[in-house]
Amino acid sequence: MRPLAEVADAAVTVFADKGFRQAGISDVSAELGLSHGALYTYVDSKQALLYLALLRTVRPDALETLTLPVTAPPSEEIVELLESWLIGQAPPLLIDHSREPDARLAEAELGALIDALYGFMERNYQALNLIEKCATDLPELAQWFFVRRRRAALGLIGDFLRQQIEAGKFRPVPDIPAAARYINETIAWFAMHRHGDADSAMLDDDACRATVRHLLLAAFLPLPES
């Protein structure tokens, strides 16, 4: 018998690479060097494999409580699991919309927002990559991840940018929702997605973090007066 954590790690690798629809039981068994049939000792379905992979990334201690073969719970329970994990992990976006805009505080708030998002994505990049890849194939997961959670975060960032731009504290942009997405996706690539890019292995973590912060601040803060 292989440790269940090894099976879960193989499932994480396969699902994060292929997504749910394209991945198969045979892909995970090949990753482990097991026969297709042997994997059914550990899980009873592909859905159970995904559940195992998600647990491995968001609640690894829960693997010890599982009974073999693992069976997937209903979709709503998986979403509840992920919601509980997100509430415990995601930082509050440090934005006070009730305060009068101030240039010095606006810069500090934008810096804090960048730091908070980057830190969250960097700490949890395996879980976030796995969820994002599989959510495109699973409607319940897509509704939770893309609609309920990501759109809400983008809305907060957009509201913050709009307030500061209207007050003259940030430079105007052609489209505020696109600017909010620009912040989110720039952070996401450097904190998460570059780990899957073989050509980016030489990039230093600290250098990436500092460079993203520097450039995002420069994109929105007013140009210095000449």
What pLDDT score does 100 carry? Answer: 52
Q: What is this structure's pTM? A: 0.90
pLDDT at 98 over 50: no
Residue with tokens 């491995």: 56
96 alpha carbon, distance to own chain's centre = 24
Give residue 96's pLDDT band: very low, low, confident or very high (50, 70, 90).
Answer: very low
Q: Closest Cα to residue 117, out of 96, 91, 88?
A: 91
The pLDDT of 24-49, averaged and rounded, is 94
What pLDDT score does 102 carry? Answer: 52
Q: Say if domain 84-220 classifies as CATH 3.30.479.30.
A: no
Which top CATH class is 4-72?
mainly alpha
- pLDDT tens for 133-174 read 999 999 999 999 999 999 999 999 999 999 999 999 999 999
Write out the residue limits of the CATH 1.10.10.60 domain(s) in the chain. 4-72
Write out the residue limits of the CATH 1.10.357.10 domain(s) in the chain. 84-220
- pLDDT tens for 174-224 read 999 999 999 999 999 999 999 888 899 789 999 999 999 999 999 999 877
